[in-house]
Amino acid sequence: MRLCHLALYVCVMTAFGCDEANDPEPGGQAGTGGEAGMGGEAGTGASSLGGSPGTGGGMSVISSPYADTQFFAVDLPNFDDGADDPSWGVAILSAAAPGCASSGCDTGADVTISVNESPPGQAPDWRSLETFSLAPQEGRFVALPAGEVTGRSPSSPEGPMTQRSANVVRISSKGRVFVAQLSGTATDATAEATMLFPNPESASHEPESEERYHVVSAPAAASGYNSITVVANAKGAAFEVVPTAEIEGDGLTLGPWPPGQSAAFALSPFEVLNLAAAGDLTGTVLQGSDIASVFTSAQGVLIPGTLESGPPPVPGSEGSTCCSDHLQEQLLPLRAWETGMNPTPPVGWGTDFIVPSSPSRSETASREPDLIRIVAGQSSAGITTSLPAPHQAFALAPGEHADIWTTQDTYIRSSAPISVAQILVGSGYTTSGKGDPSLLMIPPVDEYRESAWIYVPEGWPEVYVTHVTRSPSPDHGTHCTTTTLEYPADAVHYVHVCEAECTGWCLV
């Protein structure tokens, strides 16, 4: 039996990069899917975004779609050179519920995309951008208008970065759909993608009266800022944030806030709050009610930040930390997992994870390392892994995180719920010069599925799919390589890296 897809990376390569986009599994936990946004070739320095266009875009990996609900997309802070602000949009797929493909119960979906044109703090004014119908298993990409949530403008190109706005796009569906948000295209040097989860208020379960998020962020930004972006639902939202890095102020009524100081916020219906920091926001706690969406993003981050902060580069590589890239993910709350719910959307936390190594971008026997970031929830967590000491066993206090560098497929087990992310290194650590940092939230083992959808934008000449199964033979793709992970003692998992030919939405 094939179990899909702990991390179904879809790695798309060009001469400049290897991109992946994360996407969680609806009905399951946080995203599967590859990562996105590989920057261009070396720019003017190690912290530059890269001169030539890189790869970007992403893929979505999903198993059971969401029906009759709303999603919210946000133009998250990306690198902006002042002349070519990266484009963005959403990819939407009408897909059957499990079992519908054979029984004929899939009738497609009706989709309406609207943008809020009201000023912040006022009643929403939704203007329809597009309304269309999708046949069963038909997909469409829709480009969206720029909607700064940072306060940047031609007269203020730096912006306050921390900002209230009403710049949110609503995707309403009648019928089962998947939605992936993409920032950047094949011609943009910074690109990334995330699966969108539905607004809990419109989903098929009663939302928690209060949700708790433990943020997974990129390390300190090399170019620009890291951000937490919160979207209120139709009732407005009330929440508190305890940051792990100093939050920038807007120069008017917001902040700044030092690390560890609680800040309370009240948002009007569908209002958006962007909180920006130059430092690492991992472990930041956000807790409150009536929250529609929470995103984590980075304008430009180097992985590793310095040569001293990471393992040695691959022999034969440029031996630098170049280049930085944009990251983004929609986050999922912790509370539902700890109260024993089985909600939709998925809850994104668990106790057992497999993190497969990303497809190698080095053309030698050596391969570049990946950064695994583990974040504890509200309880202390005892961690064991398949890695040797000092990472074989360790403990995390509530809200604490650990970073692990490895070139191996890794099994992680915890005594309490944790969140696990994987971040790729920049092209300077590889011998091919392909790919820059990219972020993937790893779903727990108990959310494996038998099938998944991936989304690959136009323009990628090479596509690689990484998937984890309990079968030694992959059942799709060509030119596959397979490694075995014998951990824990009572289980054997197989990690397959395959070349695949896929454009648009593809079922695997």
Two structure tokens written together for 122: 């006022």
Please name the residue ranges forming H helices in 146-275: none
Alpha-carbon torsion 58, 62, 68, 73, what sign? negative
Contact present, 428 and 319 (Cβ < 8 Å) = yes
**Torsion from C-alpha of 321, 49, 32, 412, nearest 10 degrees:** 20
State the Cα–Cα distance between residues 399 and 376, nearest whole angstrom: 5
Please name the residue ranges forming H helices in 160-237: none
Q: Note the pLDDT of residue 342.
A: 43
Q: Which one of 73-77, 193-197, 331-335, 364-368 scores highest in mean pLDDT?
A: 73-77
Q: Note the pLDDT of residue 186.
A: 56
Q: Note the pLDDT of residue 19.
A: 39
Q: Which one of 121-135, 155-169, 205-219 scores highest in mean pLDDT?
A: 121-135
pLDDT at 35 > cutoff 80: no
Q: Pairing relation of β-strands 66-67 and 176-183? A: antiparallel
Ordered by start, the domain boundaries in the chain are 9-507
> 120 or 24: which carries more pLDDT confidence?
120
Pick from 32-36, 324-328, 402-406: least confident: 32-36
State the Cα–Cα distance between residues 168 and 150, nearest whole angstrom: 13
The DSSP element (H or E) to which 336 belongs, if any, is: helix 335-338
Residue (of 158, 431, 475, 168) closest to 299 by Cα position:
158
pLDDT at 61 > cutoff 60: no
Interior/surface letters 459-483, b for 16+ CB within 10 angstroms, e for the rest: ebeebbbbbbbeeeebeebeebeee
Q: Which one of 32-36, 44-48, 492-496 scores highest in mean pLDDT?
A: 492-496
* Mean pLDDT of the region 68-90: 80
Two structure tokens written together for 2: 């094939």
Residue showing tokens 């074989």: 392
